[in-house]
Chain A
Amino acid sequence: MNRRPAHGQPLAYYLRRAVDSILATPVIAGVTITSIAVSVLLAGAVLLVGSNAYRLIASWGAAGVDVSIYLNPGVDEARIVELKNELGADPAVIEVSYFSQDEAWQLLADNLGDSAELLDGLDASVLPASFEVALGRSIEDAKLFEMLAIWQEIAEVDDVQYNRQWIDRLRNAMGIVRWVAWALGALALIVSAIIVGATFQLAAFSRREEMEVLRLVGAVGAVYWGPVLLAGLIEGVIGSAAAIGLLVMIYQITAAPIATELPMLQGTLDFLTVGQCGTLILWGAGLGVAGSWLGMQRFGSWR
């Protein structure tokens, strides 16, 4: 008799039986794929928002320190030239730019874009003239604070603000956001584990008679489990691919309007990397395999 060991089945056997079992119960397979897709979509959304937030912070952190020195009204042009030279004399200063009240007004109007009508009824005198001082990114906090203190003491200076302070606060806030993201991710994981687990128990229940037959005709090991796990893997890949496709659509629909509304995000918004997409596919496939395995542990016990 031409027999091979029971564990030596060709790949076609596993594929055929896995695909057959998916097609035989399309509703259950659809529910399973959907539950995996929802799980991967949740994970992907957290990953997408998180990675863009970190990219944004990183781009801000990569820039140097910008200091805005706001002047009291009525400083004459000669003094402004003197001040500009004094500020630029420090080797830590890369660039000094002066913005008159009119220039500041125009800059604000440009930034407001379509909402510039908000400025109707106001005039340029409400904004102070300022020096925008660019410092190198390597400047140490002690040196920065020393310079800020000196500049704050200049008689014509009304206020001094700098972006590192803002970035530091933002970083602290992002720390909180990161924990929230982890918590949401964990919550999504638990919810999806429950949904996927229940779905796969349903799938396993629907296959229990077939598994019983297989057991009785002597299937064991990979011949017994293989097609079920492969079906779970296929459903996982399909579900996660669908989730990534949906995420791409959501990103394409929302990214452009967000970048328009928040110009500071332009150039930093991006979709997930190929590696991240691959991780999500693996996550979905892993969910499929694990769900199948756990489901069969309940309904496909082997003796």
Chain B
Amino acid sequence: MIRLYKVTKRLGEHKFALRDVTLNVAPGEFVLVTGPTGSGKSTLLKVLFGDEDFASGRGIVNGRNLNRLDGPGLASLRRELGLVFQDSRLIDRLPIVDNVSLAAEVAGVPRPEARARARRLLETIGLGDHAEVSPLVLSAGERQRVSLARALVNNPALLLADEPTGSLDPDASNEILDLLVEVNRGGTTVVIATHDQEALSLLRCRTLFMYEGRLIEEDQSGFDDTRIVADL
């Protein structure tokens, strides 16, 4: 599903956002990426959905070569992925059903079908009764659930979530994590960047550490994990 080989992105002459990041994620995996603020977690996810380019290395996501993506190719990749962000990124002037269906419409799904699909997803996440309301009246947790529904509306093979519980209280955070686990059980590959300690303790899954742009697998030796943990 994801294959990165020695991906490097520089911030300056001696500073790296990503440094020789090599990563393989198989279809159906549930992966947490953690690390201190500024360690490169968000940059890694942005590279995966083509929001950031990189100086060297090679990358393939969902069968698409990141090194050769032009504008339309990049857009196609994004239509195949589901993206969730810490700040939900909903369009407040649209009812939540349209926020969700918009992603399907952009992918070419006819509007009636897109709205029907959006309504089904909203039912699934417990917001069926709020389909026609503005996101402005929702709580942070509800907004994030809508964001998740939007990410799922095109049945993505891969869902990328950048700090999806970052601005939520523990209950809302648990709801989102439960939903993400459900999504993964349905066969969708899930990659979450987070430094949410509760998420890290609750989810028994493959966890990757990032530090100063480097990606270190949890079980890798030879690296000062205590320093990372201290920073966390």
Mark A residues whose CB is within 8 Å of B: 1-6, 8-9, 12-13, 20, 24, 209-210, 212-221, 223-224, 302-303
Contact = CB atoms under 8 A, between A and B. Distances in A.
Given A6-B106, A9-B105, A9-B108, A216 B89 contact: yes
A62 B90 CA distance: 67
A3 B107 contact: yes
Interface stretch (B16-24, B35-43, B72-80): B72-80
Given A209-B89, A220-B72, A302-B71, 14 more contacts: A8-B108, A13-B105, A20-B94, A209-B91, A213-B102, A214-B106, A216-B89, A217-B102, A217-B107, A218-B79, A218-B80, A218-B106, A219-B106, A303-B50
B215 interface: no
Identify the interface centre among A214, A217, A220: most chain B CB within 10 Å of its CB: A217
A3 B109 contact: yes
Contacts of B108: 3-6, 8-9
A24 B134 CA distance: 12
Contacts of A219: 75, 106
A21 to B, nearest CB: 8
Contacts of B109: 1-4
Contacts of B50: 303
Contacts of B113: 2
A247 B86 CA distance: 52
Contacts of B78: 215-218
Interface residues of B, number: 30
A9 B49 CA distance: 23
A221 B91 CA distance: 20
B210 interface: no
A223 B155 contact: no
B103 interface: yes
| Most chain A CB neighbours (cut-off 10 Å) among B74, B80, B91 | B91
Contact of A303 (B74, B94, B111): B74
B106 A2 contact: no
A2 B77 contact: no
Interface string B28-50: 00000000000000000000011
Nearest to A4: B108
B79 A303 contact: no
Interface in B181-205: none
Interface in B64-119: 71-72, 74-80, 83, 89-91, 93-94, 102-103, 105-111, 113
Given A1-B155, A218-B107, A24 B93 contact: yes
Given A3-B107, A9-B108, A218 B91 contact: no
A5 B106 CA distance: 9
B102 A218 contact: no
A220 B150 contact: no
B51 interface: yes
18 contacts: A2-B110, A6-B108, A8-B108, A13-B111, A20-B93, A20-B94, A210-B93, A212-B89, A213-B102, A214-B102, A214-B106, A215-B78, A217-B103, A218-B103, A220-B71, A220-B75, A221-B71, A223-B106
Contacts of A216: 49, 51, 78, 83, 89
Contacts of B150: 217
A152 to B, nearest CB: 80
A4 B113 CA distance: 12
Nearest to B90: A213
Interface in B124-145: none
Nearest to A219: B106
